[in-house]
Amino acid sequence: MLQIRSLVLLLVIGAMFTSYPAFGQTSPITVQTDKSSYADGDTMIISGKVTDQLNIPISIVIKNGQTPVYIAQADVDPSTYSYSVQAVAGGNLWKSAGTYEIDVTYGGPDKTAKTTFQYTGTTQTIPPTNNATSSQGQTVPAIPEFGPLAAMIFAISIMATLIFYVKAGHSFRIQ
């Protein structure tokens, strides 16, 4: 009985040490991007290396939190054990700026890697202008006094005058 316990204990201890990676052991797959930050419409290059050739494609998923925004597959180059894929940042699923995560899987849950990058979102800038276009197509300087706010103030003043006239009992006289 003592020999069986000793054998089981030895097997358990041996299994514990073989399940942890040795110091300096490389990961079975790596992932990286060509830049740390992307704006809407930028082309991303996602690449990495594997230690073993399994002859199956690598699964690549870009996520915003738990929501996948991009899914692709990449083949491993058998001579260099590397992979690379291009993706365009942005689109309908890329809802907000922030930190996005790239998860790559090669053959199973024990062969995964992750990295993150910043998505800055849309960088659409509309320059301010003080010009207007005439009916002849010429650019003329706009007069800010006659903008939408001035038209609204003018309409309110006319309505106030009419209300005052009705309330005053038609006693207005212009001489």
Would you say residue 108 lies in a domain? Answer: yes
Q: Which amino acid is at 8?
A: V
Would you say residue 113 lies in a domain? Answer: yes
- Return the CA Rg of the chain: 34
pLDDT tens digit string along 96-139?
A: 999 999 999 999 889 999 999 999 987 555 555 556 666 676 76
Would you say residue 15 lies in a domain? Answer: no
Would you say residue 128 lies in a domain? Answer: no
Give pLDDT, residue 11: 44
Distance from C-alpha of 76 to C-alpha of 113, rounded to nearest angstrom = 15
Residues of the domain holding 79: 26-121
Would you say residue 138 lies in a domain? Answer: no
Give pLDDT, residue 99: 96
- How many structural domains does the chain have? 1
Query: Over 70: is that where the pLDDT of 10 sits?
Result: no
pLDDT tens digit string along 66-100?
A: 999 999 999 999 999 999 999 999 988 998 999 99
Q: And the tokens for 5?
A: 């316990």
* Mean pLDDT value of segment 7-18: 46
Q: Which amino acid is at 81?
A: Y
pLDDT tens digit string along 17-32?
A: 444 444 455 789 999 9
Give pLDDT, residue 149: 64
Would you say residue 12 lies in a domain? Answer: no
Give pLDDT, residue 111: 93
Closest CA to 103 of 89, 121, 91, 115: 115
Distances (CA, A) of 118 to 54, 87, 93, 114, 169: 31, 14, 15, 14, 68
Query: Is pTM beyond 0.75 here?
Result: no
Q: Strand, coil or helix: what is 57?
A: coil
CA 125 centroid distance within chain = 18
Would you say residue 129 lies in a domain? Answer: no
Would you say residue 89 lies in a domain? Answer: yes
pLDDT tens digit string along 150-162?
A: 667 777 877 777 7
| CATH number, domain containing residue 32 | 2.60.40.1930
Query: Over 90: is that where the pLDDT of 63 sits?
Result: yes
Q: And the tokens for 78?
A: 């058998």
Closest CA to 27 of 62, 1, 52, 63: 52
